[in-house]
A and B are shown apart, each in its own frame.
Chain A
Amino acid sequence: MKLLILIGLVLLIIAVHQLMRVVELSRQFKKGNEWTVTDKDNSFNGKAMLLFGFAFIGFFFWQINRWGDNSLPGAASEHGLKIDALWDYNMYLVSFVFVLTNAVLFYYAYKYKGKKGIQATFLAHDNRLEMIWTIVPAVVLAFIIIFGLKYWNDITTRSTDSNKVTIELYAKQFDWTARYPGKDKVLGSTDYRQIDGGNSVGLDTLDATGHDDILIKNEFHIPVNREIEFKMRSRDVIHSAFMPHFRAQMNCVPGMVTTFKFTPNKTTSEMRKDPYVIQLMAGINEVRTKKGEEPVEFDYTLLCNKICGASHYNMQMTIIVDTEKDYKEWLSKQKQFKTLASK
């Protein structure tokens, strides 16, 4: 095998060398040279620019048509709907600028392709034009900034809802733990020095408020239409709790507690009946069947979105959004830390 590759390489080098000699010989018989740009070159490249412009913008729309429906479904949280709306406005705007500017660029590249005898127009500057393309972007950006920051403030203000559910997301290489406060509605304090096999999130065993805390792996439940306040912690390196369906993301940083809140507005089973989701899952299951894998149902997912080591790509947890009743029922069946630890 290696010998074959070697022989192939040698042959290739000989071939290239011979080709070069042919080219060099033929060069002597040609008029002109190999670098001066001729009208023919300008015409070819100018036309190619125009063609590329069409193809490029065509490719843009083709992709939207083909892959647009692979995008995440509409937001399943209240603030997420606002983000989606803002996203759409901004995306339409920048797509418009993108198409228009590229179209003009490639059109000019074609229209003003060089030709012998043409005199270019000497135009050094034009204050009026330059004012236009300073002021127009400035005004548009002002709107983008104002709306963006208004939403940002709403999303990031501390939760004041007395009916909220507080959940801790605890990250470590390479899995997640969700911690619920239990009956006293208080998350017990923590001390990373107390981490051991029976105390995976480092609860401070002297703090009685932690004894009824509930620790969940693999799949956690949250109630619909109630504000969920997440407190994120990490045991080892930076992770990031990314819940794309809810438009939620926050880093988990060792040594500090970060927060993110949202109110889910669709249960998992409601989401599974959403027409967009049905079509999305059909596409996914079609691919899975081809690969010989079991079809799956839609689920909300928590992913790690900050590089954290070898299994970063597989650090996940399923999120189930329940009705209030189902959520309470599920929660009542979960074991408390005290019982877990005493095992």
Chain B
Amino acid sequence: MANTQTINLSEHVGHHDHAHDHDEHEESFVSKYIFSMDHKMISRQFLITAIVMAVVAMTMSIIFRMQLAWPGEKFAFINSVLGDKWGKDGVLDPNMYLALVTIHGTIMVFFVLTGGLSGTFANLLIPYQVGARDMASGFLNMLSYWFFFLSSIIMIGSLFIEDGPASGGWTIYPPLSALPEAMPGSKLGMTLWLISMTFFIVSSLLGGINYIVTIINLRTKGMKMTRMPLTMWAILITAILGVLSFPVLVSCVVLLICDRSLGTSFYLSDIYIGGRPLDNVGGSPVLFEHLFWFLGHPEVYIVLLPALGITSEIISTSSRKPIFGYRAMIGSMLAIGFLSFIVWGHHMFLTGMNPFLGSVFVFTTLLIAIPSAVKAFNYITTLWKGNIQYTPAMLFSIGLVSSFVTGGVTGIILADSTLDINVHDTYFVVAHFHIVMGLSAIFGMFAGIYHWFPKMFLRMMNKKLGYLHFWLTFVCAYGVFFPMHFIGLAGVPRRYYTNSAFPMFDNLVDINEIVTVFAILAALAQFVFIFNFFYSIFRGEKAPQNPWNSNTLEWTNPMANIHGNWPGPLPVVHRWAYDYSKPGAENDFIPQTVPLLEGEHDGGGH
């Protein structure tokens, strides 16, 4: 029944869009490039916005890394970027340090790796890979981007106000974030942060609902759930996580806004600040932490899952082998998605939360290691006896598997409340989440960009620059984040403006310098990418229809950004997406549109 419905829907959309083809010439600049409802254009808008945001966040990290390596040293660079108020004589101001750390985290987690990653690839790939004319609602999709844009503008705008942007850490725990007396960043900057995030959540929900509806309802004929590429599964699960968890962040944020402006006491109690006792009683910051992390932990997987989906696709294509354990991959993503909702308390072992409740979260958190291990081993087995084609996308995918494992294993330590006591909130945690979440997700994003660039811009990126970009990034990324484990083992807390206030950290100067040097190199390496990206948009070589000899549907349509995606009828799917190097086949790939031969089994059976 579901199938007939799907067909009807897609037919309907098909007709609708055929009519559209004729108006194409009349499209104005505004409706084509700005308020576009076309999923391909929206995807490009998301990507380019995210790249701009990433450059901002990366620059911030360089500034605070310079302060950490050479505290008190004068840098003309810092003065020229931050001006005399926040970078007097080239020395970073402590409040601005916290602001940079906060906004760096916020932009990277939300704007680059949630909005940027999901927004780009969900929009680009869903209609292409399930065989639809466009997203279920082009209008909502357009709104999703423009809310994202608006929230980006507000977040960036908050950098330029007098008291500086929000600076209570990206987790904005009250009372620090609730009381303007506590720090300058909790004045107007915090208000802007909260407004920006509210718009961001609106964007994320509009996008997420659209992704889910499109994947469920607009699959083309023959595209059963069990034939969908893993990218689609990853994006579907991500969207469900987002739709279920982001609203909780809204309530969390709204209550904080009430505490800040209406005098309520949801999170505040028994506080004496600014020379007077506050009237607020009965609230608890622990409530905030529960609400925040109820989104905050699924958020980690909202960031990670699309990257894992992208890599699954690329590792299979570039190894010229089916992804190993397709169903196990789906199962483990579902398990990760489900578990991600019941582990948030592992961020709160030491907050005063009941220790028994902590034990429950230890149990659920460590369970996540099982599906994660399955995924890692399945990736590695996919390489086994493959014929690996080293596109830049494949290099980044292997980079992802490495960082996923390297960062993942320290998760086993941190999930153990007993061991967490001494490394909680230290650089050990900073190392852990940057490697497992930051690096993995950004590697996945780079892999996706290199792989689907031809689909987006109809041209190819330069492979040599891609190789250079990968190797510099990969080496420097580990150079930045691996040594941080050792800083953490020496007991250094995160978000310290300088380590020099404690003699016990004096022997860590050389580690901090090494980390910063690698960070600067890594940042410079990104210009190779940015050059390659923008150069190739305009001057890259023209892309052929299926440059990577891939099976999925997006490579079956002509290389042109046309409305409705396929000029004729929608393609019909006959097989799963992973028939690479199938014995007896003529080519080492069989697109999903090729009918099964008589006696041929679908889904990897012989």
Chain A positions within 8 Å of B, measured between CB atoms, are 16, 20, 24, 33-37, 41-42, 44-46, 48-49, 52, 56, 59-60, 63, 67-68, 70-72, 80, 83, 86-87, 90-91, 93-95, 97-98, 101-102, 104-106, 108-109, 112-115, 118-126, 129-130, 133-134, 137-138, 141, 144-145, 148-149, 151-153, 155-156, 173, 192-193, 195, 202, 235-238, 240, 242, 244-245, 247-251, 253-256, 258, 280, 283-284, 286-288, 291, 296, 299, 301, 303-314, 316
Using an 8 Å CB-CB cutoff, how does the interface string of B464-495 with A read, 1 for contact, 0 for none?
10010001001100100011011001110101
By the criterion CB–CB under 8 Å, are A90 and B460 in contact?
no
Residues of chain B lying within 8 A (CB to CB) of residue A63: 482-483, 485-486
From residue A19, how far is it (CB to closest CB) to chain B in Å?
10
Docked-complex contact A124 and B578, CB < 8 angstroms? yes
**Which of chain A's residues have a CB closer than 8 A to the CB of B478?**
56, 59
State A125–B329 Cα separation when bound (angstroms): 10
Report the bound CA distance from A126 to B321 in whole Å: 14
From the candidates B169, B389, B474, B547, name the one contacting A114 in the complex (CB within 8 A).
Answer: B389
B338 within 8 A of partner (CB): no
Q: Is B386 positioned at the interface, with any CB of A under 8 Å from its CB?
A: yes
**In the complex, what distance in Å separates the CA atom of A151 from the CA atom of B555?**
55
**Complex A-B: 18 CB contacts under 8 Å:** A94-B410, A97-B409, A105-B380, A114-B386, A115-B387, A119-B387, A120-B385, A124-B325, A125-B604, A133-B377, A134-B374, A148-B416, A247-B421, A254-B270, A255-B271, A255-B283, A256-B352, A313-B496
> In the bound complex, how far is the Cα of B380 from the Cα of A301, in angstroms?
45
Q: Which residues of chain B are near A244, meaning CB under 8 Å? A: 422, 491
Min Cβ gap A123→B in Å is 6
Q: Does B363 contact A (CB under 8 A)?
A: yes
Bound Cα distance A94, B426 (Å): 19
Q: Which residues of A contact B417 (CB under 8 A)?
A: 148-149, 152
B460: contacting residue among A34, A112, A134, A249, CB under 8 A = A34
Given contacts A237-B175, A310-B95, contact A71 B362 (CB under 8 A): no
| CB-based contact B419/A313 at 8 Å | no
- The reply on B3 being an interface residue by CB < 8 A is no
B603 near A94: Cβ-Cβ < 8 Å: no
Known contacts A70-B507, A138-B370, then 7 further A-B pairs from the complex at CB < 8 Å, ordered by chain A residue: A67-B483, A112-B384, A120-B320, A124-B322, A124-B578, A129-B377, A137-B369
Which residues of B (385-426) have their CB < 8 Å from a CB of A?
A: 385-391, 395, 398, 401-402, 405-406, 409-410, 412-413, 416-419, 421-422, 424-426
> A307 to B581, Cβ gap below 8 A?
no
Other-chain residue from B273, B352, B504 in contact with A253 (beta carbon distance below 8 A): B352
Let me know if A249 and B350 touch, CB within 8 A: yes
Q: Contacts A118-B387, A137-B369: A195 and B277 contacting too (C-beta < 8 A)? A: yes
Assembled-state Cα–Cα distance A70/B510 (Å):
11
Contact residues in A for B381 (Cβ distance below 8 Å): 123, 126, 129
CA distance A114 to B317 in the complex (A): 12
Assembly CA distance A237 to B169 (angstroms): 13
Q: Within the assembled complex, what's the spacing in Å between the Cα atoms of A118 and B418?
A: 51
Q: How far is it, in angstroms, between the C-alpha of A125 and the C-alpha of B478 when the chains are bound?
A: 32
Contact B362 A112 (CB under 8 A): no
B282 partner residues in chain A, CB cutoff 8 A: 255
Cα–Cα, bound, A155→B426 (Å) = 20
Tell whether B539 is near chain A: CB-to-CB under 8 Å: yes
Distance between Cα atoms of A36 and B401 in the complex (Å): 24
Given A120-B320, A134-B374, are A94 and B388 neighbors across the interface (CB < 8 Å)? no
